[in-house]
């Protein structure tokens, strides 16, 4: 079973190489002024955070442990619109389309709104270690 998982991970990494490492739009301020809306600063140091609003509003995912997090049954599924990667790990956002399609590769320190191709689509988050 472990070998099969390793093969899947290798396939994902190959796919990822062609998508390139992007940086989400980084021109936004980390702190906003709208009452009741979290803006990036809500993400704990060394964690990867996902938000269902743009500009880091309304956190729906926060983890720092390595592994694959399937979002089925979570409020985060098909809702992640912006991210903040304060972890020391590369994090993949993946959309299930009959296979795991890597829609965003987030390097440590990457944060901001996701591009349209990755907006509101992630069904799983894979924290690589
Ligand atoms: Ca999806």
Domain 2-127 in CATH 1.10.10.10:
no
pLDDT of residue 40: 79
**How far, in Å, is the centroid of ligand 1 from the Cα of 125?**
11
Domain ranges of the chain: 2-127
Q: Tell me the β-bridge partners of 76.
A: none
**How far, in Å, is the centroid of ligand 1 from the Cα of 82?**
15
**How far, in Å, is the centroid of ligand 1 from the Cα of 33?**
30
Q: How many CA atoms lie within 13 A of 45 on its CB side?
A: 0
**How far, in Å, is the centroid of ligand 1 from the Cα of 118?**
9
pLDDT tens for 48-85 read 999 999 999 899 999 999 999 999 999 999 999 999 99
Cβ of 93: how many Cβ atoms within 10 Å? 24
**How far, in Å, is the centroid of ligand 1 from the Cα of 37?**
24
Cα–Cα distance between 66 and 8 in angstroms, integer? 16
pLDDT of residue 36: 55
- What percent of the chain has a predicted confidence (pLDDT) above 70? 71
Least reliable range by pLDDT among 21-25, 53-57, 98-102: 21-25
Three-state secondary-structure class, residue 69: strand
């Amino acid at each position: 079973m472990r070998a099969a998982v390793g093969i899947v991970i290798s396939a994902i990494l190959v796919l990822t190489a062609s998508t390139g490492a992007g940086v989400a739009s980084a021109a936004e301020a980390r702190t906003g002024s709208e009452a009741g809306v979290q803006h990036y600063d809500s993400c704990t140091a060394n964690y990867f955070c996902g938000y269902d609003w743009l500009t880091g509003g309304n956190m729906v995912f926060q983890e720092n442990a390595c592994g694959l997090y399937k979002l089925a049954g979570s409020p985060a599924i098909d809702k992640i619109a912006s991210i903040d990667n304060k972890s020391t790990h590369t994090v993949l956002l993946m959309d299930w389309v009959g296979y795991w399609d890597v829609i965003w590769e987030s390097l440590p320190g990457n944060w901001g709104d996701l591009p349209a191709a990755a907006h509101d689509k992630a069904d799983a988050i894979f924290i690589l270690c």
